[in-house]
Amino acid sequence: MDKRKIEFYVGLFVIIGILCTGYLFAVLGEINFIKDKQYQVYAFFTSVSGLKTGARIEMVGVEIGKVLNVSIDKERLQAKVEFSIDQNIELSEDIIASIKTSGIIGQKYIDILPGGSDIMLESGEEIFNTESSLDLESLVRKFIFNKDNN
């Protein structure tokens, strides 16, 4: 093989390697090059322990969005969670948003239970029916201390 063919194949191999590396970064980093159309809604919870920004939002086991922001509302003294929901999913006003855990010690996510109302939520509106996360540590603490008192 002459030197030019070897240089060509080495260059081609390097370019393919760079493209594969970029693809892996995009897939593993969950980077969307084409922005999906989404709308934002929010809800208030008494406790969101363990829920993080970027957590998934599911309805009937299918991911329909992500958590945009978790903050404290100073007026209500509750946790305010902002959601980003796929545009093609319509949520009725009487849905129930619950904070759940994947497995026993898995990550927290939001589970949406569908409602039956004909009135749909618009961008920027509030989800009124919420269920806060279960605090496993406090349950264990109650079980241990109640067992000693009996």
Residue 146 lies in a domain: no
pLDDT surpassing 80 at residue 150: no
57/11 same-domain check: no
pLDDT digits over 15-54, tens only? 999 999 988 887 777 666 555 688 999 999 998 888 899 8
If asked whether residues 50 and 91 sit together in one domain, one would say yes
Q: What are the tens digits of pLDDT across the range 114-147?
A: 988 888 988 889 989 898 877 667 777 788 887 6
Q: Using alpha carbons only, give the angle 132, 117, 92 rounded to the nearest 5 degrees.
A: 55
Q: Are 112 and 91 in contact (CB under 8 A)?
A: yes
Coil, strand or helix at 36:
coil
Whole-structure pTM value: 0.67
Task: Give the domain extent around 10.
Answer: 1-31
